[in-house]
Amino acid sequence: MGKKLEYKVQESSALTSFLAAKVVGLSRAKADILVKRGEVRVNGTRVKANVKLNSGDCVSVFVPNAVTEEIPLKTIYDDENIIVFDKPKHTAYDVLPQMYGETLYAVHRLDANTTGVIVFAKTEKAKSELESAFADRRTVKVYEAVVSPAPKADADTLTAYTEFVDGTAKVSDKPFPGGKTMITEYSVIERSGNCALVRVMPHTGRTHQIRAHFGHIGCPIVGDGKYNHGKGDKDGQMLSAVELTFFGIEGELSYLNGKSFKAERGFDTQSL
């Protein structure tokens, strides 16, 4: 026995990577097997494993129970209104409620290959309040990343302009029609050879902001194929959301103000 699942593609992706991120417990190797068995269709048509998905594509897959494996899901914090996870890599944020086994409401997102702190609401009221907090930037987000080559400055606040087109962030140093301001602050934690472990605080919330901004300045995140001239890695980019703090929340969730949720440190010196 098994289950048939259907998904709508939001941005371009490789088919097996997409399936591994969306289906709980499905590895890319096993996704490849399902494609070869004819269990996967894109827009109603059987395809090969190397097909590239585009925004708007419809993917359907039949997943036998025997091919999925349990993925551990670490809970950082849990109360009657919210739950905070340390998201594993190769896992889409919107499958975490399925892994948890209860109805949860997404209020922000992380890329499938970005690990770390992610918050879900347990009630619709909490969802509304948290969505407002994220939209109004009443949060402080801290990330860690490994970049190569290392930036020349030990710390800087970068400003650029960006537009998200066809699944990729277009970045420029100068304003352009349709471009939105993108501000990214960083400091170097440690250097090793041509690499650096950096602490990053995005001041704006643009799609793929950290990945695109570091790629734009010539210091791409290690393993990020999209913004590292195609030099991707099977384990994805070395980027982790390590800390999240709320402030300025009113009403029933005001107790969250000043509370910091932390994941295990994203990377250590052995990562460099």
Would you name the residues annotated as active-site residues? 111
Helix ranges (H only) for 101-183 are 124-135
- Which residues partner with 34 through β-bridges? none
Q: Which of 113, 79, 114, 85 is nearest to 99 (CA)?
A: 85
Cis? peptide before 149, omega within 30° of 0:
yes
Q: What CA–CA distance (Å, rounded) separates 12 from 18?
A: 9
- SS3 assignment, position 12: coil
- Which residues partner with 221 through β-bridges? 147
Single-letter code of the amino acid located at 141:
K
Whether residue 199 contacts residue 140, with contact meaning beta carbons closer than 8 Å, is answered with no
Helix axes 28-37 and 15-22, enclosed angle (nearest 10): 110
Name the helix (H) or strand (E) containing 119.
strand 115-121
- Residue 8: how many CB atoms within 10 A of its CB? 9
